[in-house]
Amino acid sequence: MGIELVGLLAITAALLLVLLLRPATTRERGGRVLAFLGILALPTLAFAVGFNAHVERSKKREFCLSCHIMEPYGKSLAIDDDEYVPASHVQNNRVHRDEACFTCHTTYALYGDIKAKIGGLRHIAVNYLGAPPDTIRLYRPYNNRECLHCHEGARSFESSDAHTETDTTMTAIKANRLSCMSSGCHDLVHDVRNIGQLPMWKGARS
Amino acid sequence: MTTLLPIERRIRVAAALVLVGIVIEAVTLRILHPLSFVLFAALGALAIGAGILVYLLALLRASEAA
């Protein structure tokens, strides 16, 4: 929580306390202005700023992993094998470590962040009101767009032998017709079923 | 002790409701968990919204009475 938001909440609470304890102050013009600020203007602003702060915090890896069901997915980021896509991305700082989950699981399209958050509310509903499935699956197949958001144009991606194997391979990847996670390509992802048997990188941050 | 006018009693109720919402906001912003967001968006918004509504109704009633 930023110092600005703390200050805003403190000022709002102070004004509200005055109104709560001395509502008769509103008999004066100054008191009426205080009531407008304390009950209407500042709380509306505080809610908007607080909502934004909550949304920003929900991008944190710690936030995603705070649910017990996500723990193995957090552990999978420490797998000591460069073939595992999420682990190698996090360990080599290809994504911001603190926002690793969000970076790959948001949608890089218009309103993608909002859609990701609505999806998050659905996760909460299933986790607390329903029965979480034994195997967690994505709602839709992973879209190459999310990978291409960073990799498109990168030399390592554009000039890779595998990506230029045939004349149509690159076009198919960019059109999402050939998944990056196709068998034999980048198909090692979280692998939570075998997490107990996989080697872990000792330098991984918990 | 000063006797409160009806509008002042309503303003007190409104201030109490909004204060509850602000406290919920402050507490939930200290906890990094999906449920804290739900609590903020549901209860916090409800309390602040209800407080603002009571305040606006108080103003409306006062203007009608005048």
Is the pLDDT at A206 greater than 80? The verdict is: no
B3 assigned to some structural domain: no
Mutation target to probe the A interface, by most A beta carbons within 10 A, among B7, B27, B29 is: B29
**Are the beta carbons of B16 and B45 closer than 8 angstroms?**
no
State the Cα–Cα distance between residues A58 and A50, nearest whole angstrom: 12
pLDDT of residue A120: 85
Residue A135, pLDDT score: 84
Q: Is B34 close to A62, i.e. CB distance below 8 A?
A: no
Instruction: Please tell me the predicted confidence (pLDDT) of residue A184.
Output: 87
Q: Are residues A116 and A189 in the same domain?
A: yes
Chain B, 27 to 66: residues with Cβ < 8 Å from chain A are 28-30, 32-38, 40-41, 44-45, 48, 51-52, 55-56
* Structural domain count of chain A: 2
Task: Tell me, yes or no, whether B38 lies in a domain.
Answer: yes
Q: Specify if A204 maps to a domain.
A: no
Instruction: Tell me what the mean pLDDT of segment A37-47 comes to.
Output: 97
Indicate whether A52 and A78 sit together in one domain: no
The reply to whether residue A39 touches residue B35, judged by beta carbons under 8 angstroms, is no
The model's confidence at residue A107, banded by pLDDT at 50, 70 and 90, is confident
Interface-testing mutation among A12, A15, A16, with chain B (most B C-beta atoms within 10 A):
A16
**b/e per residue A69-89 (b: at least 16 CB within 10 A):** ebebbbbbbbbeeeebbbbbb
pLDDT level of residue A121 (50, 70, 90 thresholds)? confident
State the residue range of the domain holding B28: 11-65
**Residue A130 resides in a domain:** yes
Position A115 scores a pLDDT of 81
> Count of A–B CB contacts within 8 Å?
106
Nearest neighbour of B4 by CB, restricted to A12, A24, A124: A24
Domain region containing A17: 3-57
Total number of domains in chain B: 1
Q: Closest residue of B to A24, CA-based?
A: B8
pTM of the full structure: 0.84
> Do A141 and A50 fall into the same domain?
no
Instruction: Tell me: do A89 and A150 sit in the same domain.
Output: yes
pLDDT band at A152; cut points 50, 70, 90: very high
Q: Are residues A97 and A135 in the same domain?
A: yes
CB of B7 less than 8 A from some CB of A: yes
Q: Same domain for A77 and A149?
A: yes
pLDDT (tens digit per residue) in B28-43:
999 999 999 999 999 9
Confidence of residue A84 (pLDDT cuts 50, 70, 90): very high
Contacts of residue A39 in chain B, CB cutoff 8 Å?
A: 11, 14-15, 18, 51-52, 55
- Same domain membership, residue A122 and residue A28: no
Same domain flag for A88 and A51:
no
**In a domain? residue A67:** no
In a domain, A22, yes or no: yes
Question: The domain that contains A84 carries what CATH number?
Answer: 1.10.3820
Which pLDDT band, with edges at 50, 70 and 90, does B1 fall under?
low
Q: Are A66 and B34 in contact (CB under 8 A)?
A: yes
Would B4 be classed as within a structural domain? no
In angstroms, the CA A91 to CA A201 distance is 9
Res. B66 pLDDT band, cuts 50 70 90: confident
In a domain, A205, yes or no: no
pLDDT band of residue A111 (cuts 50, 70, 90) is confident
What confidence tier does A205 reach under pLDDT thresholds 50, 70, 90? Answer: low
